[in-house]
Amino acid sequence: MRKHYRKGAVAVYVTLAAVFLWWDMASAAEQKVAYRLKWLINMSTVGDILADSMGFFKQAGLAVELKAGGPERDAVRELELGYADFGVASADQVIQAAAKGAPVVVVAQLFQVNPLQWIYFKDKVHLASPADLKGKRIGVTFGKNDEIIMRTLLARAGIADDQVRLASVRLDYTPFYKRQVDLWPVYANTQGVEIGRKLSQAGEPVGFLNPGDCGVRFVANSVVTSERMIAEHPELVRRFVAALLQGWRAALDPANTETAIAHVQRHDPDTPRDILKAQLEATRPLIQPPAGAAVGWIDTPAWEQTEQIMLTHKQIPRPVNVTRRLRPVKE
């Protein structure tokens, strides 16, 4: 009887050991990676979500921790402090960090068109050209990139500072709804869709001013990592970028519409499904690369223009030669 117990105990130990060994090997096979997004998880991060939920990261042997961003989060800073391996940052963040010696590099550009645009009531504001901005009251977030973009737009249209009134943008949209401010900055693919729909349903059609249409190309969300990561783990960088861009390609594919909405809604349950669908449709053209280029293509001239704009507006003291920081990764 005792012999049987002993044999049973040995069998249990061996099984447990085998299970733990398998578990350990399985988790060791997947390389852990921390990825800091720029903003909270919403439709602007659909490709990142799909890369994770459709298993592209796993297939690449990566266990990626998707960390939501926010106003107090800065991916570039976290890369340097070692809290993140990859992150999403806008061009102005990258250029400002480069000007201060941060070892940051860009490995892919997610948004080919900057989603930052200005919403306006069509019955109040008539914008045939940027020159029509003269005399308008325009909302900007002082200190953020929308202020720089608007100032550039105004300068190109030959409008002096005293010919418009710039109003500080706050948490709520009341000044815009009350029509105290003529143009209000929004992310066209997320807030723009939601607000635009509400106002259109209320019989107040809205329009969007896209600075890109007026020749101001200020690069938005891009994937960044550190110089050290590129130098020491080039294979990891390649695998990560390939899996991530696979997620973004999946987001562009109309066949994945329902999957994309379902996965984003898990993180953003307060946004109704029909709004999410409209947001996805608005996001796709912003990601779509030009003919002949792949998703994640880095638009070098747009980066150069962004640096030039920042230099003109004294956001950086001297040129940083940002093109040296652009390291497109071959999948």
Partner 1 sequence: MLHRRIYQFLLIYALGLAGLLAIKYAVGLSDYVIPGATALWRTAGEVIGRYSGDVLDTLGVAVVGQVVSVLLALTIGILGRRTTWFGSFIKVAAYNVQAYPIVAIAPIIFILLGDGFLSRLLIAAMICYFPLLLAVVGIMSEPVPAVEHFYRQTGRMRWQLEVKIRAFENLSKLTTVIAGSATLAMAGTIVAEFIAAGAGIGYSIRIALYQSDLAKILVALFMIGITLSVYQGLLEWLGQVVKRVWAR
- Select 130 or 139, whichever has its Cβ closest to partner 1: 139
Q: How far is CA 121 from CA 34, 139, 159, 214, 283, in A?
A: 42, 13, 21, 19, 22
Minimum CB separation of residue 33 from partner 1 in Å reads 21
Q: How far is CA 248 from CA 242, 295, 324, in A?
A: 10, 7, 25
Instruction: Verify binding: residue 191, partner 1, rule CB under 8 A.
Output: no
Q: Closest Cα to residue 1, out of 302, 9, 41, 220? A: 9
Query: 93: which residues sit within 8 A by CB, 6+ positions away?
Result: 74, 75, 76
Q: Which of 3, 101, 203, 330 is the binder for partner 1 (CB under 8 A)?
A: 101
Instruction: Verify binding: residue 106, partner 1, rule CB under 8 A.
Output: no
Show the site string, 121-150: x = touches partner 1 by CB under 8 A, - = not.
Answer: --------------------xxxx------
Q: Closest Cα to residue 43, out of 141, 120, 115, 112? A: 115
Do 300 and 112 form a contact (C-beta atoms < 8 A)?
no
- Select 174 or 312, whichever has its Cβ closest to partner 1: 174
Helix (H) or strand (E) holding 305: helix 300-312
- Select 143 or 205, whichever has its Cβ closest to partner 1: 143
Do 95 and 145 form a contact (C-beta atoms < 8 A)?
no
Minimum CB separation of residue 221 from partner 1 in Å reads 16
The CA distance from 326 to 329, in Å, is: 9
Q: How many CB atoms lie within 10 A of CB 245?
A: 23
Minimum CB separation of residue 102 from partner 1 in Å reads 4
Instruction: Verify binding: residue 209, partner 1, rule CB under 8 A.
Output: no
Minimum CB separation of residue 76 from partner 1 in Å reads 7
Q: Which one of 66-74, 131-139, 280-288, 319-327 is the stretch in contact with partner 1 (CB under 8 A)?
A: 66-74
Q: Which one of 7-15, 100-108, 254-262, 323-331 is the stretch in contact with partner 1 (CB under 8 A)?
A: 100-108
Q: Closest Cα to residue 169, out of 106, 118, 217, 206? A: 118
- Select 109 or 226, whichever has its Cβ closest to partner 1: 226
Q: Which one of 68-76, 111-119, 122-130, 282-290 is the stretch in contact with partner 1 (CB under 8 A)?
A: 68-76
Minimum CB separation of residue 276 from partner 1 in Å reads 25
Q: Which of 50, 84, 97, 110 is the binder for partner 1 (CB under 8 A)?
A: 97
Minimum CB separation of residue 209 from partner 1 in Å reads 21
- Select 143 or 234, whichever has its Cβ closest to partner 1: 143
Helix/strand/coil percent split, the chain, to 5 = 50, 15, 35
Residue 12: what residue type?
V
Rg (CA), the chain: 24
Query: 80: which residues sit within 8 A by CB, 6+ positions away?
Result: 102, 103, 104, 226
Instruction: Verify binding: residue 227, partner 1, rule CB under 8 A.
Output: no
Strand order across the beta sheet in which 206-209 lies: 165-168, 137-140, 183-187, 116-121, 206-209
Q: Which of 93, 114, 246, 256 is the binder for partner 1 (CB under 8 A)?
A: 93
The CA distance from 199 to 205, in Å, is: 6
Minimum CB separation of residue 84 from partner 1 in Å reads 13
Minimum CB separation of residue 20 from partner 1 in Å reads 36
Instruction: Verify binding: residue 172, partner 1, rule CB under 8 A.
Output: yes
Instruction: Verify binding: residue 310, partner 1, rule CB under 8 A.
Output: no
Binding stretches for partner 1 (CB under 8 A) = 71-72, 74, 76-77, 80-81, 93, 96-97, 100-103, 141-144, 168, 170-172, 174, 315
